[in-house]
Structure 1
Amino acid sequence: MLPTVFSVAGTILFFNNVALAQQSLASLQSIQSAQAVTVAVTPPKLSDGTAKVAITNTDMFPHIVFVQIFNKNAKKTPVAEISTTVKPFETLKLDAKPQVPKAVFESGLQWVTYQDIGDLGPAVKDNHFQLPFAPNTKVRVCQSADGPQTTHGGEKIDAVDFCVAEKTPIVAARAGVVIAVVQHFTEGGMNPALLLKANTIRILHRDGLISVYSHIYTNSATVKVGQQVQQGQQIALEGNVGYSSGPHLHFEVLEGQAKLNSQQTLFHLVPIRFFNKNNNEIKIKHDTHYTADGLTSSPGASQSK
């Protein structure tokens, strides 16, 4: 049987069972990705009680791929799983060992594949970032983990909002390669319909972490997908596009993981460690002003985003 294929905001899902597809599709509507999917996963083939899967990546970027295999009579609990990073232009052939008796496993298979641009990377990450603005720029932290949560909280607790004038230059907080540029949206405000309409740039770093810069000004990106960028290089201008109450930069750092999180994605946010040009750590605090070189700070004006 040929699989049913869905594409959800750039993330492709392969199914050989329509009911399973609809169930998984409903929980994936919020996934946002800017790139066309170029990863192919062959249907699992049984051999001596083992499901053999081939994964081919024809993209210029690595992809995280997570495959769940189900018995046709037990649709909610996978009997085998595969998770891996597939390098650019690589084909992997992997075996999934079922956690059920061979006869049960071979009575019929269903499967679902989740994938997105990313890299599981090493276990220890180089979580060092500079503030994402040009030197001498004065910014205010208007939402962070230590203060009131107006639009973060939950999965987004470790994101940081920086409030600064519209069209302020934004720079790469670490060197890496640009994997997504979305800059065509024009509207901003507190309408929930704008939640998935924030102009965004994503940069993949050498250890697999991804820095995300959201609410950028329309058509202000100075980088393109596939471009290598250096720390401190301008990438866009700050804006007020998407679900936003005023001009600010929403900054977060994602880490790939081998299984889906509670939001049904392959990434989770990690606490961000900022360092100044002297390599001293900056302790980010809510409602505090900083210069972008991280050398000075002062209390803010008791406002919040």
Structure 2
Amino acid sequence: MLAFFYALIPVVLITALGWLLAKQNFLAADGWRAIEKLVYFIFFPALIINVLAGASFETVPWAMVLVLIGSQSTLALLGLLAKRADDGPRKGSIIQSNVRWNTFVGLSMGSALFGEAGLALMAIAVAVLTSTANVMSVLALTHFAEASEKKKPHILMDMIRNPLIVSCVVGIVLNLMGIAPSGIAEETLDILGQATLALGLLVVGAAVDLEAFKRAGRTTLTWSMVRLLVFPIVALAAGLLINLPSNSLAIVAIAAATPTASSGYILARQLGGDATLSANLIAVQTVFSVLTMPAFYALFLLTQA
């Protein structure tokens, strides 16, 4: 358990530094958006390709994939069952909050705890949960949005162009073909990838709006607890039920216990969701996950005792 705190504390500190830098206007809002774009389109894909192409998988962890998708789908269903008072844009934002997860936090924790093997498994989780989260979020936000003349997004095309999904496919294909990057190519990808986690966490911190945390109401608190508690409980239970290997179960527990992704606010604003509720959910979950993530990792350790 001590190893988990050694891994978590730097993540919290770097995220807090991002928040402080944004609070002090160290960079303009456009500067943070530019960094986020660089991470999303360049650094993150380089990391994923390099890790997956060189990973040693005896078999593709299909059981882990099924647990993640099943748990995520359960959270989407719970959002659909929200009381009628939450119909409309609020419901779209609730469902999106339930199914999204913070990839930067997950990758940082997986890497710090389990090294390259953990990073590779977490990259698989990124591919799986990012793909399904995008589909579920877009469908929910557009379906429950108020009538609008905005052009509906093309979900399939958006997935095909998603740099995280594309990089996962490229990395896995290279792995299956036995063509891992080497020499200059490997070194270049490695240098680019090294920028991912630090910059990613800084961007996460910069996006946290503590004013949103202060104005959180019952709906925000209720659905934040659903996301932070039910997702990892379902994922852990399913993983134990099908006897997931210890390393895969640990990755499932960490991925499911992360807060929702900060990018959800932008998508809610673009697709007719309740952007204010999304901002509140992101802020509350980011703060409380500092407590819930260690609790679920401790629960995972108890299952391995």
TM-score by length of 2: 0.23
Bigger Rg, structure 1 or 2: 1
Return the structure number with greater helix share.
2
Relative contact order higher in (CA < 8 Å, ≥ 6 apart): 2
Return the structure number with greater strand share.
1
TM-score by length of 1: 0.23
